[in-house]
Amino acid sequence: MYLQELQLQHFRNYPEADIRLGRGINVLLGENAQGKTNLLEAIYVLALTRSHRTANDHDLVNWQAKTAKVSGRVVKSAGTVPLELTFSRQGKRAKVNHLEQARLSQYVGQLNVILFAPEDLAIVKGAPSIRRRFMDMEFGQMNPRYLYNLSQYRTLLKQRNRYLKDLQHKQKRDLLFLSVLSDQLALYGAEIIAQRLRMLHKLEHWAQVIHAEISQQRETLTFHYATQVPDEALTDAKSIQAALSALYEKQRDKELYQGTTLVGPHRDDLHFWVNDKNVQTFGSQGQQRTTALSVKLAEIDLMKEETGEYPVLLLDDVLSELDDARQTHLLTAIQDKVQTFITTTSLSGITRQLIKDPTIFHVADGTVVADGSPTSDDSATKED
Ligand SMILES: Nc1ncnc2c1ncn2[C@@H]1O[C@H](COP(=O)(O)OP(=O)(O)OP(=O)(O)O)[C@@H](O)[C@H]1O
> Distance, CA 241 to ligand 1 centroid (Å)?
45
Is the model's pLDDT at 377 over the cut of 50?
Answer: no
Closest residue by Cα to atom 12, ligand 1, is 13
Q: Helices marked H in the chain — which ranges? A: 36-48, 104-107, 122-125, 128-142, 144-168, 175-214, 237-250, 252-258, 279-282, 285-307, 324-334, 349-354
d(CA 5, CA 73): 6
Is 126 annotated in some ligand binding site? Answer: no
344 lines ligand 1 (CB under 6 A): no
30 lines ligand 1 (CB under 6 A): yes
- Which pLDDT band, with edges at 50, 70 and 90, does 384 fall under? very low
- Main-chain dihedrals φ then ψ at residue 376, nearest 5 degrees: -50, -50
pLDDT per residue as tens digits for the range 295-322: 999 999 999 998 899 999 999 988 888 8
Question: Rg (Cα) of the chain, in Å, rounded?
Answer: 22
- Structural domains of the chain, ranges and CATH numbers in brackets: 1-112+309-384 (3.40.50.300)
Mean residue pLDDT of the chain comes to 92
Is the model's pLDDT at 372 over the cut of 80?
Answer: no
343 lines ligand 1 (CB under 6 A): yes
13 lines ligand 1 (CB under 6 A): yes
Higher local confidence (pLDDT), 8 or 376: 8
366 lines ligand 1 (CB under 6 A): no
ipTM field: 0.97
d(CA 216, CA 278): 20
Mutation probe of ligand 1 site: the residue of 9, 13, 87 with most atoms within 8 A of C-beta: 13
**Pick from 4-18, 91-105, 362-376: least confident:** 362-376
Read out DSSP for 108-169? TTSS-EEEE-GGGGHHHHS-HHHHHHHHHHHHHHH-HHHHHHHHHHHHHHHHHHHHHHHHHT
367 lines ligand 1 (CB under 6 A): no
Mutation probe of ligand 1 site: the residue of 12, 36, 319, 363 with most atoms within 8 A of C-beta: 12
283, 292 contact by CB (below 8 A): no
pLDDT per residue as tens digits for the range 181-239: 999 999 999 999 999 999 999 999 999 999 999 988 999 999 999 999 999 999 999 99
pLDDT per residue as tens digits for the range 243-302: 999 999 999 999 999 999 999 999 999 999 999 999 999 999 889 989 999 999 999 999
112, 138 contact by CB (below 8 A): no
78 lines ligand 1 (CB under 6 A): no
10 lines ligand 1 (CB under 6 A): no
Mutation probe of ligand 1 site: the residue of 37, 40, 60 with most atoms within 8 A of C-beta: 37
3-state helix, strand and coil shares in percent for the chain, rounded to the nearest 5: 50, 25, 30
